[in-house]
Amino acid sequence: MAALEEEFTLSSVVLSAGPEGLLGVEQSDKTDQFLVTDSGRTVILYKVSDQKPLGSWSVKQGQIITCPAVCNFQTREYIVVHDNKVLRIWNNEDVNLDKVFKATLSAEVYRILSVQGTEPLVLFKEGAVRGLEALLADPQQKIETVISDEEVINEIMVCVKTSHGNYFAYVQMFNSRILTKYTLLLGQDENSVIESFTASVDRKFISLMSLSSDGCIYETLIPIRPTDPEKNQTLVRSLLLKAVVSGNTRNGVALTALDQDHIAVLGSPQAASKECLSVWNIKFQTLQTSKELPQGTSGQLWYYGENLFMLHGKSLTVIPYKCEVSSLAGALGKLKHGQDPGTHVMPRFVNWETPQGCGLGFQNSEQSRRILRRRKIEVSLQPEVPPSKQLLSTIMEDSEKHIEVEVRKFLALKQTPDFHTVIGDTVTGLLERCKAEPSFYPRNCLVQLIQTHVLSYSLCPDLMEIALIKKDVQLLQLCLQQFPDIPESVTCACLKIFLSIGDDSLQETDVSMESVFDYSNSVHDEKMEEQTEILQNGFSPEEDKCSNCDQELNKKPQDETKESTSCPVVPKRAALLNAILHSAYSETFLLPHLKDIPAQHITLFLKYLYFLYLKCSENATMTLPGIHPPTLNQIMDWICLLLDANFTVVVMMPEAKRLLINLYKLVKSQISVYSELNKIEVSFRELQKLNQEKNNRGLYSIEVLELF
């Protein structure tokens, strides 16, 4: 559960905030003190607990500060850059910035990054990064260009945006000096604009969260140790929270991560016109608390320790907050406090910033709120749990969205020897929970796990069983493509669903279309023209004497032409049926199950197979276009299988009469072709004998043979 406490004004003095607000708020060397840099000439040091300034420094008239002042935690000095290239360093005893240390650099500075325990880093507008000590040793050293002229740095995390609307992330590993470039794909809403970023780091991933112009928050996982650092890699973002803020916020929006489960968002919500500060639980997708800001803000938000900083109106405002350990009951506001006030609870984490001499008994509720805080070193008292066990424990209790994120993180890790076992156990755990909770169906997780190519039907037979119950044709198609050991009974069950599902339902599904060629010139109609004449057992009265089907074949050439150019099924159904054609089977075990399929569905499947055969016949190679289309042998085998299993039923159906006649013509034409081939075979044998005799003589000769 998260809560925002009563706000207070840090300074009643009107700060020199430009159209875009302040330059920044940064942590000082003391936890209660912060450096505030306005957009003009001044840096002010504030003490939050006393709500008053401790010092103020300004550059000369005509100069302008161009990046926020920061603290060098190693030397307890302050650093600022004015006029893009002039770097100044001073401490609390200095009064006039014009008389402090000065260094003029060779390139323009974008930001100075300073974190406790490390040397400050200088980020240049060209994208290069230098350590402060190395830079001061040679201020005029040449600075290389990392980003192109079209790109501009959009956020402090070195996310850049080109003029063409593309987004990239550059990750610099300072211990190995490796720079990796990632292309960020926006996904379906490619027209949206990223308005704010925030990031959090764990041991294996950088979680980059972005707030887009559509009001939604997306997450992109960037591996800390990439597999190929030299190669430009592509990352796809996933939806984290939907409709958090309105798309028409006047002063912009801001986003920051508070801890691993909570984020703060500054902007106008969908249902209100006034700006608000809201805290969201990303683990359980819930709004925890919000506070209206009637005087408006600059669209900027800073977070340090337990305080949120922003410009409310024209004054710098601080809003304290607290976040407890995330739980479903707390996220829904149902957390019961049955704890005896006098009892003491052992904390799960050790806070190394606790002052020495303060024992466990001294811990009060104010200190317990510091359990989950960014930029604080926390060590769990429990031994580290392997990622595989963490994943298995997650799937048993967390939400589908959180499980999907954890599965994606696990699959991005380097494969371990027990990778196959973990994937199998994970699928088994998900399926057991699906059976126990009918509303739980993590299809995205199952798709990701199937695409690892380590599963088979024998490892997880319940997977296709649940997919059949849910009529999830996308998952069934993927299983048919990936699993080599699917029983014939399950293959027929899939075929029944593929043939019976409605076209409207198919339009809403996302199936793989790589095996289907272009049907743009085809008419997608699964219903053949109804017979207008009265038929008896499939024959009209005037055809009782018809013992030769050649008469019927020559009757309606126009119908045959139309039938040969139109596909009887829609493209998505064709893609599903192609997966059936590619599946492995044994004829002995498949035939009994084919008899259970309704006759009208058998007829539809035969019409589609006949259509594929006609398309094959149009090519000299007797193949279909596409990436992975069915082969001629597969088409003919399935025609024979369906007729062998259902001929006595299909032959009695009036609407199947013309189809059977067309299939008869197909067989008759094939017999004619093979007969001609047999005749040519005799001539080729004679040629082969003559060629052998010529080779045996060892003489050169020219011979003219007339075959016809």
Cα 465 to Cα 431: distance, rounded to the nearest angstrom: 10
H-run or E-run covering 180: strand 178-185
Cα 228 to Cα 379: distance, rounded to the nearest angstrom: 31
Beta pairing partners, 217: 211, 241
Residue with tokens 């798309």: 247
Cα 33 to Cα 30: distance, rounded to the nearest angstrom: 5
- The winner for highest mean pLDDT among 328-332, 383-387, 479-483 is 479-483
Average pLDDT score over the chain: 77
pLDDT in tens, 542-573: 333 334 454 544 454 444 444 456 888 998 99
Q: Of 224-238, 277-291, 327-341, which range is least confident?
A: 327-341
pLDDT in tens, 73-123: 999 999 999 999 999 999 999 988 989 999 999 999 999 988 888 889 998
574 CB contacts (<8 Å, ≥6 apart)?
Answer: 516, 519, 567, 608
Q: Of 66-75, 183-192, 399-408, 469-478, which range is least confident?
A: 183-192
- What is the percent of the chain where pLDDT is above 90? 19
pLDDT in tens, 575-596: 999 999 999 998 889 999 999 9
Long-range contacts of 610-613 (CB under 8 A, 24+ apart): 610/639, 610/659, 610/662, 610/663, 610/666, 611/563, 611/564, 611/566, 611/567, 611/568, 613/639, 613/666
Contact 494, 580 (CB under 8 A): yes
Contact 48, 308 (CB under 8 A): no
193 CB contacts (<8 Å, ≥6 apart)?
Answer: 165, 212, 213
What six digits make up the tokens of 625?
């276009």
240 CB contacts (<8 Å, ≥6 apart)?
Answer: 209, 216, 217, 218, 219, 282
Cα 139 to Cα 88: distance, rounded to the nearest angstrom: 12
Cα 204 to Cα 97: distance, rounded to the nearest angstrom: 42
User: Among 267, 299, 302, 268, which residue's Cα sits nearest to residue 21?
Assistant: 299
Residue with tokens 């018809």: 546
Query: What letter represents residue 507's amino acid?
Result: Q
- The winner for highest mean pLDDT among 86-100, 220-234, 653-667 is 86-100
pLDDT at 537 (0 to 100): 32
pLDDT at 71 (0 to 100): 94
What six digits make up the tokens of 11?
């300074």
Cα 293 to Cα 248: distance, rounded to the nearest angstrom: 16
Cα 408 to Cα 417: distance, rounded to the nearest angstrom: 18
DSSP 359: -
* Sheet of 194-201, strand order: 194-201, 205-212, 217-223, 238-241
pLDDT in tens, 323-346: 776 655 555 543 333 334 444 433
Beta pairing partners, 287: 280
Cα 516 to Cα 46: distance, rounded to the nearest angstrom: 67
What six digits make up the tokens of 50?
């006393």
Reply yes or no on whether the pLDDT at 151 is more than 60. yes
Cα 256 to Cα 259: distance, rounded to the nearest angstrom: 9
Reply yes or no on whether the pLDDT at 378 is more than 50. no
H helices present in 587-656, as ranges: 587-594, 599-617, 632-650
H-run or E-run covering 422: helix 419-436
Contact 582, 634 (CB under 8 A): yes
Cα 80 to Cα 288: distance, rounded to the nearest angstrom: 37
Q: Which residue has the higher pLDDT, 26 or 530?
A: 26
Contact 506, 500 (CB under 8 A): no
pLDDT at 466 (0 to 100): 92
Contact 659, 606 (CB under 8 A): yes
pLDDT at 418 (0 to 100): 76
* Rg of the chain, C-alpha, whole Å: 36
